[in-house]
Amino acid sequence: MVMSQVLEPKSWVSAFLSYLEDEKGYSDKTARNYLRAIEQFSHFMPDQSWRRLSHNSFKEYLYHLSREAKLGPASIRLHFSALRSFYRYLVRSGRVETNPLAELSLPVKEKRLPRYLSELQIEVLLSAPVYAWNQYRVDKSRRGKPVLEWQFLRDKAILEFFYSTGVRINELVNIKDLDIDHRSGVLRVMGKGKKERITVLGEPALRAYANYRDQIPLPIQNEWAFLNPRGEALSVRAVQQLFKKYLTMAGLDTELSPHKLRHSFATHLLDRGADLRSVQELLGHANLSTTQIYTQVTAERLRKSYDQAHPRA
């Protein structure tokens, strides 16, 4: 990974990035984000050494991000998450004696409840690829590159997988056909930090996937689960585009992301009585507190229903 204008010694940053990728299993994207945060700090304070930086150095940087760069609490916390992780590594590896960020107070991030789709909205969205295929066949005046039925079946399977398993978009595009156990109805997922987990596939998702795979032309069949017309794994960008297309067809907010199906998956499970620990495992959350935010969504929904319906609310 290329570095530019980072604080001396540069080898420390390089060793830290290798540690993130090789030992912690962080993705290239996460490592790049950490590098960017370190570089931005080094541009702000270019003539300092990591050994000589103090608590006040980072208080000054915090003030800069908040007052001059006008970043919000969430963005500031992301910056300092990278810097704190870097210093923890430096202390653990014996390169510095203390962590000047240890007692630094950061702005509190505003808690926003996850946005999710209702069960009815999910049904409309999941039926959109079938509707799209029927429209495509009827509209003889349509121009452009022809689209085959297996591509609509693929899109249907993708939407079903999102909602059935709660996978993230990066996890979905990396699913291989062998990761799917059709007999037991489970899916092996490689999640954040290269942590493997098992999640469950419902019958509609398994059926949609089987219908799609049965129609793939033999020349482009591949080990990847979801393919483009060249037989390559679909990209994240391609999945985002097809998701936006079906949101439009379903009459839903096109600003929604595939991650909202993950929120919907968790919220609907809890609404129907699933226990929190099971939902945590299915989502691949390291901490139960991350999953607990969905209980707040459920409680808020119940409160609204109560206020609307109870005579003495």
Query: For each of the chain's 313 residues, which pLDDT tens digit applies?
Result: 444 444 556 789 999 999 988 888 888 888 899 999 999 998 998 877 888 899 999 999 999 998 888 888 888 999 999 999 999 999 999 999 999 998 888 887 666 667 889 999 999 999 999 999 988 887 755 556 677 899 999 999 999 999 999 999 999 999 999 999 999 999 999 988 788 899 999 999 999 999 999 999 888 888 999 999 999 999 999 999 999 999 999 999 999 999 999 999 989 988 888 888 888 888 888 787 777 777 776 766 666 665 675 555 5
Helical (H) or strand (E) element with 18: helix 10-22
Global confidence as pTM: 0.66
**C-alpha distance from residue 37 to each of 5, 25, 34, 306 (Å):** 12, 19, 5, 46
- According to DSSP, the residues that pair with 71 across neighbouring strands are none
Amino acid at 19: Y
Distance between CA 217 and CA 45 in Å, rounded?
57
Distance between CA 13 and CA 39 in Å, rounded?
10
Dihedral pair phi/psi, residue 63, rounded to 5°: -60, -40
How would you classify residue 154: left for phi > 0, otherwise alpha for psi between -120 and 50, otherwise beta? alpha
Distance between CA 91 and CA 50 in Å, rounded?
11
What does the pLDDT read at residue 210?
A: 96
Chain centroid offset of residue 269 CA:
19
- According to DSSP, the residues that pair with 199 across neighbouring strands are 187
**C-alpha distance from residue 208 to each of 219, 265, 267, 294 (Å):** 21, 18, 23, 28
Which residues are annotated as catalytic? 168, 192, 259, 262, 285, 294
Cis peptide before 217 (omega within 30 of 0): no
Q: Encode 146-161: b = buried (16+ Cβ within 10 Å), e = exposed.
A: eeeebbbbbbbbbbbb
Tokens of 20: 């993130």
CA trace torsion 79, 83, 88, 89 (10° rounding): 120
What does the pLDDT read at residue 310?
A: 52
